[in-house]
Chain A
């Protein structure tokens, strides 16, 4: 019944559950599905300059440019990981966007006329006392915020142990 899926991932354990659901399950049953993989570069990187007041705007801009470039490269790597793992992902479209998480999901879904949004489940973050570092900015999807502006159904992948 669905024809076009928007898969939101940023490579975390939770997000990988969503990847697995889409590429290993949904796409197997229905190979005609169009999949767009969306990776968002969180707008809140802007806030990561914190209470810095010494640097001029120029330095801030250079920093944000670097973040974008770096995140772009890291996203490419992550997408390659997906393609390596799921052959069915080769047909998918990969999109990187800068913006606020919830708004960007919605605007992309609308723009690409997707009829289903797939995200990973809520998992407890083990960031503080964990020496294995996760890529990118730790960010959560604000469910309430997203639910209020959803343009199409939202599917949350369940936790399956063997997703990695």
Chain B
């Protein structure tokens, strides 16, 4: 690929980004954005367009001025740049235009179909992005200029996982880690042995059951790719196995979130189930985001499971190597399998976790991104209208069924117009905080009782109390921004990975791997579904 060839698309894409940003900033698109409910994101759209487009144009100019070489700068920056920008453009278009449109369409189609396509298939921007990637690869093909950029997807997804590390607390990590080690351990080993046993039962060659066991047990294609050279798999065994795993995984990606919603799973349960039952780890991330892309609870759980699986991979490779060692005559050392293959991105994940635990991303009093701000401040108050509602209800004695403490909390809310400690004790920070917490607790029990039906609250009273609680929950700006970056990395990575799923690879499925794969995969998904529902309770995730 010569530089001159790759320059034109680069200029077109980045020029488009800049022009779009300028149009968006002029406000011409405001009615459209309002219609699509994306008006709040206009600032982000403008700045992303300007920055990315600017970088693209700069890169194009460098390409013209500078003689193309084979330096790291060429290979890591200039060559991938057009592809990276193309994926970014796709991500932006999908998030701000395609997804809202799909929502609108499925809303309008509801009377005809009786259900919302959007809801049933969980077509949010993550899934749509991945599908767009698959679609492009299998129709037009990845444009030549974008090939190098698409290859970055793997690595951007790793960055996303690293950044996700900032969102855990010690308690969460410990709790989720226990769940995942237990569940992944059980199901990985269980599936590996099930496949080996089935292979034995159907008298299939050991090499085939080896790659299939790794793929069905640990993390899909990744495991197959890692294990195939070790067990010296035959060509048809690799082809059939990978085809089977890829197609099975793609079906899972759509079925899991729908079943999860239908079964009323909470985020932790769904994350645990997807993390155990879905084969390919990219598809785990995608289905977690499909289940819920707005808050990242599910993703947090699912990624812990993913990481646990990654850590299990060398163990499985060692086990299978031992299993086949005698036949192939190839010996693997501990260093080759564990040290050389240790995924450094997990160290990065832990590093960000440590940085966040030390309070680097939020002021010391913040707890994991969200902190409670009881300080007297206009921005933590309820609105005037809400205050009127509350005040009127209290004066008229219209809120019935509250106990003394709950009533006191409501009265204090009216008096102070916000959740806070006592005005007099504001000098003593700890005491002030404690009083605020106590009041918030009372208000939350009121809402819980109202939700549970044991208490009747007027709708607007409930909304006002709810808003009062919400107002004091503040997110650290740093953590919010880091999370946004992370979500973009995930979206980018999944579009790029979608571009690497070819129909040719999928259609390799068949033969014994398909038969054994379906048996073991469905067994794994079904069993883990019930085990998760039975064992995993909601963990309070901040």
Query: A residues bordering B, Cβ < 8 Å?
Result: 44, 47-56, 58-60, 62-63, 65-67, 70-71, 74, 127-139
Stretch of B32-40, B62-70, B94-102, B499-507 contacting A (4+ beta carbons < 8 Å): B499-507
How would you classify the secondary structure of chain A's contact residues: helix, strand, loop or mixed? loop
Closest Cβ neighbor of A129 among chain B residues: B510
Indicate which residue in A63, A128, A132, A136 contacts B225 across the interface (CB closer than 8 Å).
A63
Interface residue from B229, B283, B505 paired with A48 (Cβ < 8 Å):
B505
Residues of B contacting A66 with CB < 8 Å?
228-229, 232-233
Known contacts A136-B235, A136-B236; A51/B282 CB under 8 A:
yes
Q: Per-position contact with A for B334-376: 1 when CB-CB < 8 Å, else 0?
A: 0000001101000000000000000000000000000000000
Contacts A47-B502, A131-B511; A54 near B313 (Cβ below 8 A) = yes
Residue B246 is within 8 A (CB to CB) of chain A in the complex: yes
In the complex, which of the residues B221, B232, B343, B498 contacts A52, with contact meaning CB atoms closer than 8 Å?
A: B221
A133 to B313, Cβ gap below 8 A? Answer: no
Q: When chains A and B are docked, how far (Å) is the Cα of A48 from the Cα of B246?
A: 9
Q: Across the interface, do B282 and A59 meet the contact criterion of CB distance under 8 Å?
A: no
Q: Does B233 lie within 8 Å of A134, measured CB to CB?
A: no
* Interface-located stretch among B153-161, B387-395, B444-452: B153-161
Determine the chain B residues whose CB is within 8 A of the CB of A47 once the complex forms. Answer: 500, 502, 504-505
Residues in A neighbouring B228, C-beta threshold 8 A: 63, 66-67
Partner of B238 from the list A48, A56, A129 (CB cut-off 8 Å) is: A48
Question: Judging by beta carbons under 8 Å apart, are A49 and B157 in contact?
Answer: no
| Number of inter-chain CB pairs below 8 Å | 126
Count contacts on B: residues with CB < 8 A to the other chain: 51
Beyond the given A70-B232, A133-B237, please list 11 additional residue pairs across the A-B interface where CB-CB is below 8 A: A48-B242, A53-B155, A54-B343, A56-B343, A58-B340, A63-B226, A63-B228, A63-B229, A74-B235, A137-B508, A138-B504
Rounded to whole angstroms, the CA-CA distance of A136 and B240 in the bound complex is: 9
Docked complex Cα distance between A49 and B280 (Å): 11
The answer to whether B310 has its CB under 8 Å from any CB of chain A is yes
Which 4 A-B residue pairings sit nearest by Cβ, starting from the closest? A66-B229, A51-B497, A53-B154, A133-B511
* A58 proximity list for chain B (CB < 8 A): 340
The answer on a CB contact under 8 Å between B246 and A128 is: no
Q: Classify the secondary structure of B's interface with A.
A: helix
B488 at the interface (CB under 8 A from A): no
Within 8 Å of chain A (Cβ to Cβ): is B222? Answer: yes
Residues of B near A131 (CB, < 8 A) are 511-512, 515
In-complex Cβ contact of B493 among A53, A55, A56, A138 (8 A): A53
**Min CB gap A15→B, angstroms:** 15
Identify B221's interface contact among A51, A67, A71, A135, CB under 8 A: A51
Contact, CB under 8 Å: A65 / B229 = yes
If A65-B229, A138-B507 touch, whether A52 touches B280 (CB-CB below 8 Å) is yes
Asked if A70 contacts B233 (CB within 8 A), the reply is yes
Pairwise interchain contact A59-B500, C-beta atoms closer than 8 A:
no
Whether A50 and B236, one on each chain, are in contact in the complex, defined by CB atoms closer than 8 angstroms, is: no
Against A, the Cβ 8 Å flags (1 = close, 0 = not) of B229-249 are 100111111111010011001
Query: Counting CB contacts under 8 A, is B509 at the interface?
Result: yes
Interchain CB contact under 8 A, B502 and A44:
yes
Residues of A within 8 A of B155 (CB): 53
Please pick, from A48, A49, A54, A133, the residue contacting B281 in the complex, using a CB distance under 8 A: A54
Report the Cα distance A127→B238, complex, angstroms: 14
Residues of A within 8 A of B239 (CB): 48, 136-138
Contact check, A50 vs B512: say whether CB atoms are below 8 A apart. Answer: no
Tell me which residues from 405 to 423 in chain B have a Cβ below 8 Å from any Cβ of chain A.
none
Residues A60 and B504 in contact in the complex (CB < 8 Å), given A48-B238, A51-B497, A136-B236 = no
Known: A49-B500, A137-B235. Contact between A130 and B510, CB under 8 A?
yes
Q: Is the CB of A50 within 8 A of B508?
A: no
A44, A74, A129, A134: the one within 8 Å of B504 (CB): A44
Chain A residues with CB under 8 Å of B505's CB are: 44, 47-48, 50
**Choice from B157, B226, B507, B508 contacting A53 with Cβ under 8 Å:** B157
Contact B280 A74 (CB under 8 A): no
Q: Which residue of B lies closest to A126 (CB)?
A: B510
Interface string of B123-155 (1 = CB under 8 A from A): 000000000000000000000000000000111
Contacts of A55 in B (CB 8 A): 222, 225-226
Pair A134/B282 contact, Cβ less than 8 Å: no
Contacts of A132 in B (CB 8 A): 511
Minimum CB distance partner of A49 in chain B: B225
Contact B234 A70 (CB under 8 A): yes
A148–chain B nearest beta-carbon distance, Å: 16
Given the known interface contacts A130-B510, A136-B236, the answer about A50 and B280 at a Cβ–Cβ threshold of 8 Å is yes
Complex Cα distance, B229 from A58, in Å, reads: 12
18 inter-chain pairs at a CB distance below 8 angstroms, sorted by A residue, are A48-B242, A49-B225, A50-B242, A50-B245, A51-B221, A52-B280, A53-B497, A54-B222, A55-B225, A66-B229, A66-B232, A70-B235, A70-B238, A129-B510, A135-B235, A136-B239, A137-B235, A138-B239
Contact B222 A52 (CB under 8 A): yes
Contact with A along B312-345 (1 / 0, CB 8 A): 0100000000000000000000000000110100
Write the chain B residue with the least CB distance to A134: B236
In whole angstroms, what is the CA distance A37 to B256 when docked? 48
Please, which residues of chain B bring their CB within 8 A of the CB of A56?
341, 343
B220 in contact (CB, < 8 A): yes
Q: Would A49 and B236 count as touching, CB distance under 8 A?
A: no
- Which A residue's beta carbon lies closest to that of B494? A51
User: Does B514 lie at the interface of the complex (its beta carbon under 8 Å from any beta carbon of A)?
Assistant: yes
Distance in Å from the Cβ of B341 to the closest Cβ of chain A? Answer: 7
B-side contacts of A133, CB under 8 Å: 236-237, 240, 510-512
Docked CA distance A56–B222 (Å): 10
- CB of B219 within 8 A of chain A? yes
Of residues B158, B220, B235, B498, which shows the largest number of chain A Cβ atoms within 10 Å of its Cβ?
B235
State the CA gap A129–B501 with chains docked (Å).
22
Inter-subunit contact B511/A67 (CB<8 Å) = no
CB-based contact B501/A50 at 8 Å: yes
